[in-house]
Structure 1
């Protein structure tokens, strides 16, 4: 059995470039992908025990290749994030261990005794109601609709992803058109003394803001919720 391989971010990006035969992948871009996944609590990046530095493995490499391909297909990062679980067993976040409470002389013993007494009294009072509550609970469960199957959930997730992608693509086209209609002094920035060029940072923000401001209304319209 071969030993598992781990990379620090710089080596990880170089390995990704080699696998994709693409030298135009920036380390900040890749780092941003995985920071977003961790921020959304979707996928955890391993850390070293000594320095708590992030290290990436084969699973992370496959995810990075998947994200790069989807970005080349003009997918939004939010749509890619929502779709990852359909293709990968994402890494869960480690469970934080709670520190034991400090011992406080006989006070803890007293609290424990009181707790046990309350628990015993409650159990004695509740015994007569157990069967009745159980019956009511079963009736309540029987009255609830059956949860969707795995296939139904996958289909719902896929449909939601398709709708989101459709809306974002439409809004992006509208935003680009709206941007092109702006006066030159709002779209261009001076580069040197004699040349002006498109202010890409300003354009990206304009497009993002346009999508964010119009997404909810367009989603309501798409879902026919505004009638």
Structure 2
């Protein structure tokens, strides 16, 4: 029995503990804040507990190192954190929470739940705020097919904003200043989106004006060329006694439409180039 106790003592003495900075260096390739966040989340979800010193400072051991390296590897393989956390119990004997820590764990979980609720409410408000922009984008597509690529880009930005808000860290992961910074970034992105939409509307209006100008010019040219044709091509003669000339309206319309269609693209490109030079 004494020999067993001696071996246990040796194992305890040989076991190595690291503070966060040293521990992060052991993991390699990941910032200490990222690693700290992982273990904050593991504890807040009641998945794995990290040992503490008497002063309450967390210290990491070999088991924690294996877990951290596993998370780092899976993140490099593009796994989601949810998937990694769900898979952890099948990989390692995770450390249970001490009995006297149950209240603390409960408080942490309650805090996360409250913050998730706040995130959901703010996300809903963001979606309502962005709804007018979505409608504007749909109108832009309807008015001008050349803006389709812009529409796709702006729609992706809106989706990214909403996903970004839902992914905001909870209080266990970051302090309020970091959260405010994330919200400021979202606010700036919304502002940029609004500016781009305003600019795209102006561009769309300018484009429509150019197209109308081209159509007017081509129509006048087509009419001039039609009038240069021989009368036999432009008029039909009706009546036997008092002959009367009637313009071939259908032929005239087809001639003008074909002239516009054949010359529209090149003429529009030419005018656009002239506008850019100005």
TM-score (norm 2): 0.35
More helix by share: 2
Say which one has the larger Rg: 2
